[in-house]
A = this chain, B = another copy of it.
Amino acid sequence: MSRGYNFSAGPSMLPEPVLRRAQEELLEWGGERASVLEVSHRGKAFVALNDKLEADLRRLLGVPSNYAVLFLQGGATQHFAQIPMNLAGPDDSADYLVTGHWSTKAVAEAKTLVKTHVVATGEAGKFTSVPERAQWQLTPGAAYLHVTPNETIQGVEFEEVPDVGDVPVVADMSSNILSRPVDVSRYGIIYAGAQKNMGAAGLTLLVIRDDLLAHKPRPLPNILTYAAHAKEKSLLNTPPAFAFYLTALVLEWIDAQGGLAEMARRNRAKTDMLYAAIDGSNGYYRNPVDPRYRSRMNVPFTLHDAALDEAFLSESKAAGLLTLKGHKAVGGMRASIYNAMPLEGVRALVDFMGDFARRHG
């Protein structure tokens, strides 16, 4: 066997050089005579790794100095709850733009903690587009506006958030972090689970503006307080050390490739190729998303006849094109093509799709 092209939505494909490096030093890391899995997070070697991780993330993402960069546990879903805990009191309002599966979940998890308001939702159109700014019903005095710039299941993505005045914008970028340059200064919080574009599941990046860290809207245990983690530079308690390490390697890899501008160029080239193949298939393959909001990370598509799905999945798997089954909420197929997916992987998929259509007419 050999490694396939892995189109899993997350956890998902990692750059092979990152895995090879991790493999090489899994038993002995950095002159420590121990694995990175075995060393104290209070020791010099791990503290240096943590410092470099933060510095590299700041540089790559262009994080202004008035933002803290935190590496936390719990997955983005936990932060659906932790964000209202930290930014709002129980009687405050918080606004949510609902554009698919994940933003719907974000509202649900916040409901016991804050008065949630949906400013607009794409639900009526089955989340195939993003509600226009003119339709958003913002709540005066809302503690924040939560947005999900990429929805992995529906495959909709939007770039910068339109102007919403002084309300802090909180963005769940779990599925498109580091895939393109972002103007961090437009956001109050950017957060992202690591398991798509940054490394291993079990780690969440959270970039937060200083003034929001100073909020104390309700009593909280220390471990759930972002300011406490910021004060200890992400080492308040034992961190998921291997996930820190792996993300550090992924950042080095992105850097060596040319940074976020190069990631954006590659992601555009990959999706241009894939959407062109879908749109040029005379309806054999279909993607229902408003072209202005088609995702550069997750490309759902259906076959003209769902009876062919099973053959498509088994034949693609045999060809080394892995995990193409779509989410049950939208059916069909989904190709997740994060940073680590090379252009060759997408070309192999496009070639297979053409070949499949010819054979199964």
- Give me the interface of A with B, judged by CB distance under 8 Å: 1-4, 6, 8-14, 16, 19-20, 22-23, 26-28, 31-35, 37-41, 43, 73-75, 77-78, 80-81, 108-113, 193, 195, 199-203, 219-224, 236-243, 246, 320, 322-323
The residue on B at minimum CB distance from A193 is B238
Q: Inside 8 A of A113's CB, which chain B residues have their CB?
A: 221
Assess the A11–B241 pair: CB atoms within 8 A: yes
Q: With the chains together, A59 CA to B77 CA distance in Å?
A: 31
Interface of A is mostly: loop
Once bound together, how far apart are the Cα atoms of A19 and B242, in whole Å? 13
Inter-chain contact B200/A37, CB cutoff 8 Å? yes
Q: How far is the CB of A195 from chain B (nearest CB, A)?
A: 6
20 contacts between A and B (CB under 8 A): A3-B34, A4-B33, A10-B238, A11-B39, A14-B38, A19-B27, A33-B322, A37-B201, A43-B323, A73-B78, A74-B74, A74-B78, A74-B223, A80-B221, A80-B223, A111-B221, A200-B242, A201-B239, A242-B242, A242-B243
Contact B9 A40 (CB under 8 A): yes
Closest to A236 in B: B77
Partner of A202, one of B193, B239, B320: B239
Min distance, Cβ A96 to any Cβ of chain B, angstroms: 14
Nearest residue (CB) in B for A203 is: B202
- Contact check, B34 vs A23: say whether CB atoms are below 8 A apart: no
- Chain B residues whose CB sits within 8 angstroms of the CB of A74 once the complex forms: 73-74, 78, 223
C-alpha spacing A203/B109, complex, angstroms: 22
Which residues of B have CB within 8 Å of A19? 26-27, 35, 37
A50 CB, nearest partner CB in chain B, Å:
13
Query: Which residues in B have their C-beta under 8 angstroms from that of A320?
Result: 33
Which of B3, B110, B195 sits near A27, CB closer than 8 Å?
A: B3
The answer for the CA separation of A201 and B38 in the assembled complex, in Å, is 9
Please indicate the chain B residues that have their CB under 8 angstroms from the CB of A4 in the complex: 33-34
Q: Name A174's closest neighbour in chain B (CB-CB).
A: B238
Q: How far is the CA of A12 from the CA of B110 in the complex (A)?
A: 37
